[in-house]
Structure formats: C-alpha cells, structure tokens
Structure 1
C-alpha cells in the first residue's frame, strides 16, 4: 500500500508557502522594458550605484522609510543587505556630492502610485498591493 505524505506549508519549489505569499516583490513602471534583473544589478540600483536600466533609460528609485518593516524585509530578503547599509551608501554619495538618495514614500499605496506614474520607476510592494498599474520584475 502506497503512503501519501503531505508537506503542508511548502510550495512546489520547496520554499515555505507563507514566505512566497509574504514576499516583497520588485515592481516597475509599465513603460520599463526590462523584465528580469539579477540580484547584483538590483542591489546596485537600490544602492544608487547604477542609475540606468539595461536599455539606458534612467531609473527612478522609490523606497519606504528605513524603519518600515517592508523596507527591512526587502533589503534583507531580496538585496541581502541591512537597511542601515543602504542608508550608509546613500549618505556617503549625498555628502560627497557624487549621487543622491532614492525617493522616499510614506506607505505602499504611495509607492504603487509613484512607481505607476513615474517613467523608469522601480520600487517594491507586498503582493496584496499589486495591481495593473505596475509590473512585477523577476529577480534571478
């Protein structure tokens, strides 16, 4: 007799299902032609070291406040850095005059609206905030 074993809480990829549902996703303005970014490129864009999309269009980066839990999760889970490390990189560029910090937004609704209405924009949202006004960018 065969035994059926159910692995509750796991997706087909082996990632906990809850983690997939709670994932913070990379989102872009619909006019962005790039559909996939590597983790390194994404990290460079959010550290404000890379200022253009692979096709040459200017990137406009939007982030939540450093102490917002979604910002912390995005930085740690998707970029593999701590929020304070990003802030140090931004401060260094601003104070040295070599760059600027990303655009800050209050909440995920403002994030979605600003990304949707800003050409070349990139940000992040929890799945529940997604709609047709933004596109999800896959990360390798």
Structure 2
C-alpha cells in the first residue's frame, strides 16, 4: 500500500485522516513523535512554544481508532490509559472531546492553539492542515 502524506491532495482518497489546527497555530508540520506526545497529553505546547489544546473524537468512533493506529502508531486503549494516568495522578488532564467529525472543525477553529484530526472530506477553510513528517 502506498503511503500518502497529509499534505498531498490531488489523488488523495476522501477518507484520508489529516491533522488540523486553529488558524493561528504557527507550526506547519510536526513529527510523528511530536504528534504522539501531544495526543498522549505529554507535550502541552506546539514546537514554537504556543499552548496546545488537543481535541479527539469519542473512543468508539472508528476514525479515532484509525487515527491512533495509522497516524500515531498506538492503539486507542493505550491513549486512554495514558490519559487516565494523567488525570488520576493529578499530573494533567484528558484531551477535549469533539462530538463527531462535523463538530471537530468547529471546536478546533474556535479554540486558539487547538489540534485535532478528521477525514479530509470534513475539512473546511476554518482550520489549517498540519503535515506530519
């Protein structure tokens, strides 16, 4: 199977999952390790130092599962365990939740520093795409 980066567009399948961010985020791309750390809530800032607000879909959403496994290289339950540890230890908080993919761009666009993901077909001009290296 041919890997298509999130920045490629012309022949991309509509259900390709892309990282999205608030338009004010000054970062155009992040490494897979940085994205994994941000979604695991271990890194609370963008590489440029701006505070990050992470948004995820519900655990049972198939796009959440695909994003976790395909883009981050972790299983969804591993993310949930990391979030639970942070919350129960008092060392951090769980990410914000979007209700569904239609809600995700609205949440990200209205929250400075926000980071989320969705299938390309739900993408609109209110958010910017962040490439993952």
TM-score of the pair, normalised by structure 2: 0.91
Task: Give the 4+ runs in structure 1 shifted more than 3 A.
Answer: 18-21
Counterpart-to-counterpart distance in 2, 1:69 and 1:113:
20
Runs of 5+ consecutive residues of structure 1 not aligned to the other structure? 1-9
Counterpart-to-counterpart distance in 1, 2:98 and 2:15:
20
1:71 is matched with 64
Task: Identify which of 113, 124, 129 aligns with 1:120.
Answer: 113
Counterpart-to-counterpart distance in 2, 1:39 and 1:136:
15
Counterpart-to-counterpart distance in 1, 2:43 and 2:86:
12
CA offsets, 1:79-117, max 9 Å, x none? 000000000000000000000000011101111100011
Structure whose alpha-carbon radius of gyration is higher: 1
2:87 is matched with 94
2:7 is matched with none
Q: What's the offset of the Cα at 1:22?
A: 2.2
TM-score of the pair, normalised by structure 1: 0.86
1:43 is matched with 36
Cα RMSD between the aligned structures?
1.8
Q: How does 1:45-60 map to 2 (within 5 A)?
A: 45-60=38-53
Counterpart-to-counterpart distance in 1, 2:27 and 2:13:
22
Runs of 5+ consecutive residues of structure 2 not aligned to the other structure? 5-10
